[in-house]
Structure 1
Amino acid sequence: MLQSFWAEILATLITLAIVVLVRVLAAKAITEYAKHSQLLAHRANLAIRYTNVFLTVLFFVVVFAIWGVNSDDLFVTFTSLLTILGVAFFAQWSILSNITSGIILLFSLPFKIGDTVKILDKDYPIEAEIEDIKAFHTYLRTKSGEIITIPNTVMMQKGISVINDPTAENQEFTD
């Protein structure tokens, strides 16, 4: 019985080995890029997590193809699952919005941990140092030591002024 699936087992093991190798190489590449571009380890780790999720999903798609799962059945299951998740996320759109904003903040690098920023909000302006940037929230510490949690969506929607950027001190502005 097991011998009749020998090709599929071997192909699955090879695929698994390739995915593990790509995950390790991608993690090393992201870490090296982070060192050369002086990104914080936190942002590199977040990029590694996103890459690992993508590679895991890709692995399962390939394994389903190897084992001959009927693509029509898989498509119906996948779209049903996405519909359910879509309704759940629509009900909680802020979660999806914060994740998307977190990804944009990760790659656009408008500010980084350690920068002092001023959030330009007419009702409640905030001046604080960025403590941490997570997938959903950014944590700020005021001069008085108060920790403020700001959703990443707000960090994308409001004007942000970087008051002191240690890496920008020695840079000249050119046209």
Structure 2
Amino acid sequence: MRGWLPVAVQSWVAEMMVIGQVLLIIFVAWLLRRAVQRLIRRVIETYNLPPHSLPGARRVSGILINAAALLLILERLGVSGTVLWTAFSGFAAVGAVAFFAAWSVLSNIFCTMLIFSTNQFRINDHIEVLENGEKPGFKGRVIDINLIYTTLEEATADASVAATVLQVPNNMFFQRAVRRWRGTEPPPLWRMVTPR
């Protein structure tokens, strides 16, 4: 089709085609991200999943879509699949070493996903992490859940004393028994005894 065009114009048309394909890949990735985000929101609303799982699911889907778009763009720009595969396997080997080095952090992140998916507790629930049958553990109202810690506001018997805040690693909730009270009001015994 381009045989009747001058050579200089043919190379210019080829470059414009590549730029057009790159722009098309970016546009399709953008549309796909928006569609997946709407789908995630609809699934969370339909199945009454905790709203805290929405940002994490959006981030993961965005990273996967962006990575796929980047690979397609690099392929259109002439980067060979062998180079990409070699780079990926090198990063995977380094990632495996980093995985074992950061095991406790990754354990906390995984346990966070389990807390959200199993509804073990929610923000504003009052919980107690039990050490064993005879020793009381950490008590407090859940005020924040992030990827590494759950923040508890300790209840105090004296109203004039400022409440303290505990940050409990999320993997602790799967190593010990957890007692939970739903709602905003703690049980009456809660206010009477606070371990120190």
Query: TM-score, length-normalised on structure 2?
Result: 0.71
> In the alignment, which residue of structure 2 is the partner of 1:131?
143
**1:75-114 counterparts in 2 under 5 A?**
75-114=85-124
CA RMSD of aligned residues (A): 2.5
Computing the radius of gyration from Cα coordinates, the structure with the larger value is: 2
Q: 1:11 aligns with which of 18, 21, 24?
A: 21
Question: 1:39 Cα deviation (Å)?
Answer: 4.9
CA distance in 2, matches of 1:70, 1:94: 37
Structure 1 residue runs without a partner (length 5+)? 167-175
The number of aligned residues is 166
> Is 1:102–1:152's contact at 8 Å kept on the other side of the alignment?
yes
> Displacement, 1:66?
3.3
Q: Given that residues 150 and 167 in structure 2 are in contact (C-alpha distance below 8 angstroms), is that contact kept between their aligned partners in structure 1?
A: yes
2:177 partner letter: G
Matches within 5 A, 1:115-126: 115-122=125-132, 125-126=137-138
Shift of the 59–154 alpha-carbon distance from structure 1 to 2, 3 Å rule, reads farther
- Report the counterpart of residue 67 of structure 2 in structure 1: 57
Letter of the structure 1 residue corresponding to residue 55 of structure 2: N
Which residue is 2:178 aligned to?
Answer: 160
Query: Structure 2 CA distance, aligned partners of 1:75 and 1:121?
Result: 48
Give the CA deviation at 1:83. 1.6
Question: What percentage of residue pairs aligned between the two structures are identical?
Answer: 21
| C-alpha displacement of 1:41 | 4.2
In terms of fraction of residues, the more helix-rich structure is 1
* CA positional deviation for 1:78: 0.9
State the partner residue of 2:37.
Answer: 27
- Cα–Cα, structure 1 residues 4 and 40, in superposed 2: closer, same or farther, change >3 Å? same
Q: Which moved more, 1:98-107 or 1:135-144?
A: 98-107
Unmatched runs of 5 consecutive residues or more in structure 2: 1-10, 157-162, 185-196
* In structure 2, distance between residues paired with 1:153 and 1:59: 35
Which letter maps to 1:24? R
